[in-house]
Amino acid sequence: MRTHSVAYLPGDGIGPEVCDVARRCVNAAGAAFGFNVRWDEQSVGGRAIDESGRALPPATLEACRSADAILLGAVGGPRWDDPTAAARPEDALLALRSELELFANLRPVTAHPALAAASPLRPEVRDGADILILRELTGGLYFGRPQGREEHDGVESVVDTLRYTRAEIERIVELAFELAEGRRGHLTSVDKANVLASSRLWREVVNEVAARHASVTVEHALVDSTAYLILTQPTHYDVIVTENLFGDILSDEAAAIAGSLGLMASASLGTRTTAKGRLGMYEPVHGSAPGIAGKGVANPLATVASAAMMLRLSLGEADAADDLESAVTAAIEDGPRTADLGGSDGTEAVAGFLLARIGAGLEVTA
């Protein structure tokens, strides 16, 4: 039987509750599709700070390095909010991104008709929208140096640095073309080339890589107009690729198309590839929701959808990924609803609904 190893980092708040549902769903898919997952549970974030004083203990990093994939819940909460503390839960996320070179953040945005009422967009605008946003994750303003405040001759100033190497741009753009080839073949590259030198190099690289992917239609778009068009014409987009800061903003904005941040899945892919896929870290977009932690009411769908991406992109289990995604879609359309979606059902009700469907189609056709 095929065996996969997954570093399991439930983290803080509702992280353990939603990760537990995703783990059971993946195990059920494994039983149906003939694979095993070895889950290596490790501390991260606030829990790790409490245990060892570090948000990302060396043992956790090592487990992530040697795994086929990482499943993460969420980190943080009021207990660890002191801005003067030596260690902060979010440090773990930035460290994992840079240590594992998780350079590409993927966020699918789908407009499920069943959630039309949850979206501020009119149904005729959002219906049919199905976008994959690809954000560069390890370069740009968030990592560029110098960064900080200084004072010279009584003048206070501050600097952030937007730096990209050609190679950093090329690897994310290449991945964007590959992903567009597997979808509808349309790629929008978002930049600010009328102002920024980094964007002009970005455009140049996109045009070079485009020559190797003739089946993909490419368009260049400015980030300011894209921020408007993504909400007024969301069905125009297939794959969007952009740099770190622009991607951070556009991907949260696009959650309005889906209707709820609580349903959004994400993958952060690294440079290391295996025969099964690419090392990746998978996590829901939402945070640790400390206000509802431990109450059994958290919505696990974003984490289960993230686990489906893990099966597809890192573990090479595309059939199981399809099955998990169908179960999530069925839950959105016809399943129990947690409070964030206007219902009053609990986490376990959603888990039971999903587990009853995973692998069910196989039994019928067998």
Please give the helix or strand (H or E) that residue 326 lies within, else none.
Answer: helix 318-334
346 binds ligand NAD (CB under 6 A): no
Work out the number of other CB atoms within 10 angstroms of the CB of residue 213. Answer: 18
Q: Is 224 a catalytic residue?
A: yes
DSSP label at 211?
A: T
Work out the number of other CB atoms within 10 angstroms of the CB of residue 236. Answer: 15
Out of 142, 164, 237, 282, which one is annotated catalytic? 142
Q: Is 142 a catalytic residue?
A: yes
173 binds ligand NAD (CB under 6 A): no
CB of 280 to ligand NAD, least distance (A): 15
3-state secondary structure of 69: strand
Which of 108, 262, 270, 277 binds ligand NAD (CB under 6 A)? It is 262
CB of 263 to ligand NAD, least distance (A): 9
340 binds ligand NAD (CB under 6 A): yes
Which of 69, 70, 187, 298 binds ligand NAD (CB under 6 A)? It is 298
3-state secondary structure of 176: helix
**C-alpha dihedral (193, 195, 201, 204), degrees to nearest 10:** 30
Out of 20, 130, 252, 322, which one is annotated catalytic? 252
Work out the number of other CB atoms within 10 angstroms of the CB of residue 196. Answer: 14
Pairing mode of beta strands 130-136, 69-74: unpaired
Total of chain residues touching ligand NAD, rule CB under 6 A = 20
Q: For residue 47, what are the CA distances in angstroms to 17, 20, 74?
A: 14, 16, 11
Which of 10, 16, 30, 77 binds ligand NAD (CB under 6 A)? It is 77
Q: Is 276 a catalytic residue?
A: no
Taking the C-alpha atoms of residue 23 and residue 111, their distance in angstroms, rounded to an integer, is 26
CB distance 118 to 342 below 8 Å: yes
138 versus 338: smaller Cβ distance to ligand NAD? 338
Q: Is 252 a catalytic residue?
A: yes
313 binds ligand NAD (CB under 6 A): no
Given the rule CB under 6 A, which of 27-35, 197-205, 235-243, 281-289 is the region that contacts ligand NAD?
A: 281-289
306 binds ligand NAD (CB under 6 A): no
Which of 286, 309, 312, 321 binds ligand NAD (CB under 6 A)? It is 286
103 versus 202: smaller Cβ distance to ligand NAD? 103
Given the rule CB under 6 A, which of 50-58, 289-297, 307-315, 327-335 is the region that contacts ligand NAD?
A: 289-297
Which of 22, 63, 74, 115 binds ligand NAD (CB under 6 A)? It is 74
Crossing angle for the helix pair 15-33 and 318-334, to the nearest 10 degrees? 130
Burial 155-190 (b: 16+ CB within 10 A, else e): eeeeeeebebeeebbebbbbbbbebbeeeeeebbbb
CB of 126 to ligand NAD, least distance (A): 21
Q: Which residues are identified as catalytic? A: 142, 192, 224, 248, 252
Residues that bind ligand NAD (CB under 6 A): 14, 18, 74-77, 93, 262, 283, 286-292, 298-299, 338, 340
